[in-house]
Structure 1
Amino acid sequence: MEKIQISLQATTPIVPGRTFVILRTCKKIDELTWVTWVEHLELEQSYLDPKLYNDLCCRGFAFGAERWVACLARSCERRSYHRSMSELALTHLKGQDLLDFEKRCVMMISKRMVRDFCLNIVPLCRQPDPTLCVPPPSLAFCYLKRQKSPNQDNPNEYVVFATTTFSVPHSPEFVLRILGDESRRHELDASGRIGRLADQVTCYTTGDDPMNKISVQANQSLGNNEVLLQETSVSPSGSLVVWSLLTKEPFELPRLGRVPQDFPLIGLSGVANSLQNTTTSSNTGGGSFITLGLQQVYCYTDLGPKLTEVVTKLMRDTINRIVAVLNSRKDQGM
């Protein structure tokens, strides 16, 4: 039995991160089976905000054991598919099948992309206003995080990550189906970097749910030198869709026997989606909370004090695109 202190952040910036003390033990049943047992502390009901994210908190999806179990099960499922999946062909990148080592590298790249998205969600450093609730898209507030770029050649270059959470009157299943569609990725891009994508989408599943998958497409708008990598992950606690533009270099490294580690993410975007408690007539199944995250690289000398304004406008434009796409698909009866 091991005593662990762990910090947990819901996939939204409007709920503060919380620290828990848990007891954990693991037991090996056989060569392929491990059992993990977790005991965690209970919280007084008064500690939780009565309105903000109340439904998820009370059901344990936001901070409790159900979310831990869901995340653990999803992680184990992804690993099992990694071990057992057949060879992946990125024919539009390589012209030939990838070997097992290359498949692991692709999953490693995608794992880093998802990790960066989750780590960059900017939580509140204080308890939220008790009168606050998850706002509609028009009132969504953007939270910004800025840090020096790892690019040593330009000391004025910054990486800015912005997050926001808003509610929509569509079911989580409908939102996932629309926002997880790789062929419509350019419709959500307000930066102008994602243009016409290759018709061929290389993808493979990472779980029993067919929506659990990683996909790769060539970004043909920029001379076919970049690819769009996307991972979609679904569990009982919600869904996550994260995508990023990458140069082809990380995909070429395995052929040279090298593991892709430090490589630039040319913009990073993602949406986390969870069920809200209210019911709605749109698409049935209740409404959804959507957390949008965008990462971009900016030169401070070019923007200066206008940096916040520029990033906020990009977020607002992206929110408007998401709402427009969801509404148009609803009107089409999808």
Structure 2
Amino acid sequence: MESGDEHEGVEGQKRKKRYHRHTPRQIQELEAVFKECPHPDEKQRMQLSRDLSLEPRQIKFWFQNRRTQMKAQHERADNCALRAENDKIRCENIAIREALKKVMCPTCGSPPVAEDSYFDEQKLRMENARLKEELDRVSTIASKYLGRPITQLPPVQPIPISSLDLSVGSYGGGGGGGMGHSGLGPSLNLDLLPGSSSSAMPFHFPTAVSDIEKPVFTELATNAMEELIRMVQTDQPLWMKPGGDVSDVLNLETYDRIFSRTGQQYRSPDVRVEASRDSTLVIMNAETIVEMFIDPMKWIELFPTIVAKARIIEVLATGIAGSRSGSLLLMHEELQVLSPVVPKREFIFLRYCQQIESGVWAIADVSVDLSREGQYATPSQMRKLPSGCLIHDMPNGYSKVTWVEHMEIEEQNPTHGMYRDLVESGAAFGAQRWLATLQRMSERFACLMVAGSSEDIGGVPPSPEGKRSMMKLAQRMVNNFCGSLSASNGYQWTPLSGLNEVGVRISVHKSTDPGQPNGVVLSAATSIWVPVSSDTVFSFFKDERTRSQWDVLSNGNTVQEVAHISNGSHPGNCISLLRAFNTSQNHMLILQESFTDVSGSVVVYAPVDLQGINIVMSGEDPSYVPLLPSGFAIVPDGRSGGGASTSSNPMMGSLITVAFQILVSSLPSAKLSAESVTTVNNLISTTVLQIKAGLNCSSV
């Protein structure tokens, strides 16, 4: 039998939502009762309902809203008190600084050398936090031998367990003592980013940093933070605007003059400097962004098209007073362009997170050299100079993010000529690409929270739980597709002859993941250039009416979109369910996600049987629905200075990566046959020919 509340909920869904404004008398009576009893029981609510001529659920919702309002008022009052205290301390700090300026050295009679007290204070805070952590660890070990706790030692603030549980890459997963999910605001549900899931691959590292090196790394991180903030806040002549919609470009002469460091004047002529700056608004608050940058699994999930691999080597500082402010991580990452012919970029770097003031956070990255440890050595020809972002909280859950990307590159494996302009222009790994991806992903998560974000085209409309499940499945599909193009997954590309100057590249791996069909999977990819704008290419792949022109497996049959979920402000950013009009495949549907931004576009799709679709539509966990995605990655060719098509340059060429995954055998022990290689080679070759024909550039 249904309860009264459940019955009211069902009835409320059937009726169109109406808004009711309470009379002054009703509000006065409700306020009087609230002062005496903020949590009235059902009997009291029924009595108020009769006295005030309101429905019981209206009474219930009024008290819920009033309690929320009271809580917010208390929090604002606390914030005002803390702000006043902060201003007082700041004034005292200024007074002390002025007094110190007048102090004279008793030995030489000169004033002391000026220091940046803010960053000196941060060094002391980080060192203090590290010493407290060491003291806590020693105390725990000693107490085990004594059989009792050591009460003589000063109290040490406990470190959140979630911050140290690195066995599944779940740093910052929202455990006790730290900022859990509740502190991230309503703009984002982090369940879409399964960084703390048990399915994540465990990483086990020995200690990589000695006690002698830790203070050195701390100083390196704080100096990088200082440089990053100055680079964000300084405009001309440090940064130049080339024109159009591209990012700011660094003036190297000005940079070398402002940030002089040992050895900088001896930069090799073979070293290429890539440095860019850009800013944008994203639909995330600052603390949410910080959490995603700190957790390497969420870092990968947030930038699946850029970050191929990321992991924490060692936590050097966990933050101050349970906050992420002061966190210092030694990390390893591999960055990629979605093409088998662009070498990955690999860095070992420090990531330092600091809250500059209320609502303002900074995250600084800088490369370190651990070449003495063979397993941590990265190509010395790639070095990340102080880079990162400054994040300002804005109204309504938005943030303004200013991103600086700065690196020195001397590639051992030169980039294929087809992608050289894109890479050497800085567009492939520059600030604009990072920010465009961050902005698009923030819109993706926000769309899930907006009512009416999905549209039924001709089938059964998915429930809110069904929409959520479909978005999670589509996200896993995109991540799998990007991973299939990465050389970081443990297998290398083998080129086949023919087709074009790139040729078809193949790789093989044995799949045992629950989200993939078990057996031997053959991945095949190639990249081509076409004299067509990237927007036109994206529309060609996205439009279901032109699918039969390039989809070899459709056998010329048309497809129909039966379900649609908007995924962002651009109409092309969406998740679709497609039905092919093919009697032999009437038990299958096609799940497809497409998205585009100024840095490029992706269209990914995978066949899903009706049983899997029913699981998704019912809102169940889609983790075990098997997917083997294929698709396309499209980027501007970069020959006109990088960036996307603009009104002044609407017809730039495009680079298209075509990628397929095929289950060769359901037996993991099966061997790859020459027939399978020939089949996938013909599949890609035919697809490329049909793409060029559909885009009217067959002669290229």
1:128 — aligned with what? Answer: none
Question: Do residues 313 (structure 1) and 675 (structure 2) align?
Answer: no
Which 10-residue stretch deviates more, 168-177 or 27-36? 27-36
**Partners of 1:85 and 1:184 in 2: CA distance:** 31
Question: Do residues 107 (structure 1) and 487 (structure 2) align?
Answer: no
Aligned partner letter, 2:588:
E
Question: Do residues 273 (structure 1) and 634 (structure 2) align?
Answer: yes
Match of 1:33 among 398, 414, 420: 398
Change in Cα spacing, 1:28 to 1:151, as seen in structure 2 (3 Å) is: closer
Aligned partner letter, 1:11:
L
1:132 — aligned with what? Answer: none
Change in Cα spacing, 1:273 to 1:85, as seen in structure 2 (3 Å) is: farther
Change in Cα spacing, 1:143 to 1:85, as seen in structure 2 (3 Å) is: farther
Cα deviation code 1:72-111 (max 9, x no counterpart): 11111111112114163546443xx322111111111111
> How far did 1:303 drift?
6.7
2:433 — aligned with what? Answer: 67
Contact 2:341 2:416 in 1 (8 A): no
Aligned partner letter, 1:6:
E
1:9 — aligned with what? Answer: 336
1:332 — aligned with what? Answer: none
**Partners of 1:156 and 1:224 in 2: CA distance:** 23
1:247 — aligned with what? Answer: 609
> How far did 1:215 drift?
1.5
**Partners of 1:22 and 1:40 in 2: CA distance:** 14
CA radius of gyration, larger in: 2
1:184 — aligned with what? Answer: 546
Contact 1:149 1:157 in 2 (8 A): yes
- 5+ residue gaps, structure 1: 126-135, 330-334
> How far did 1:115 drift?
0.9
Contact 1:275 1:287 in 2 (8 A): yes
Structure that is richer in helix per residue: 2
**Partners of 2:567 and 2:593 in 1: CA distance:** 9
**Partners of 1:244 and 1:156 in 2: CA distance:** 16
**Partners of 2:469 and 2:555 in 1: CA distance:** 23
Question: Do residues 323 (structure 1) and 692 (structure 2) align?
Answer: yes
Change in Cα spacing, 1:173 to 1:200, as seen in structure 2 (3 Å) is: closer
SS in structure 1 opposite 2:407? Answer: coil
> How far did 1:288 drift?
0.7
**Partners of 2:618 and 2:630 in 1: CA distance:** 29
Cα deviation code 1:133-183 (max 9, x no counterpart): xxx96333111121124499xx99421111111111111121111122122
Change in Cα spacing, 1:85 to 1:162, as seen in structure 2 (3 Å) is: farther
**Partners of 1:199 and 1:34 in 2: CA distance:** 38
Contact 2:523 2:662 in 1 (8 A): yes
Contact 2:457 2:564 in 1 (8 A): no
Which 10-residue stretch deviates more, 221-230 or 285-294? 221-230
Change in Cα spacing, 1:263 to 1:137, as seen in structure 2 (3 Å) is: same
Change in Cα spacing, 1:148 to 1:90, as seen in structure 2 (3 Å) is: farther
SS in structure 2 opposite 1:210? Answer: coil
Change in Cα spacing, 1:287 to 1:58, as seen in structure 2 (3 Å) is: same
- 5+ residue gaps, structure 2: 1-326, 354-360, 362-390, 491-497, 641-648
**Partners of 2:399 and 2:533 in 1: CA distance:** 35
Aligned partner letter, 1:7:
E
Question: Do residues 43 (structure 1) and 405 (structure 2) align?
Answer: no
> How far did 1:51 drift?
4.4
Structure that is richer in strand per residue: 1
Change in Cα spacing, 1:149 to 1:251, as seen in structure 2 (3 Å) is: same
Contact 2:637 2:655 in 1 (8 A): yes
1:119 — aligned with what? Answer: 483
Change in Cα spacing, 1:213 to 1:186, as seen in structure 2 (3 Å) is: same
Change in Cα spacing, 1:257 to 1:229, as seen in structure 2 (3 Å) is: closer
Aligned residues: 311
- Which fold has the larger relative contact order, with Cα–Cα distance below 8 Å and residues 6 or more apart in sequence? 1
Change in Cα spacing, 1:43 to 1:122, as seen in structure 2 (3 Å) is: same
* TM-score, scaled to structure 2: 0.40
**Partners of 2:676 and 2:608 in 1: CA distance:** 24
1:295 — aligned with what? Answer: 661
Aligned partner letter, 1:64:
G
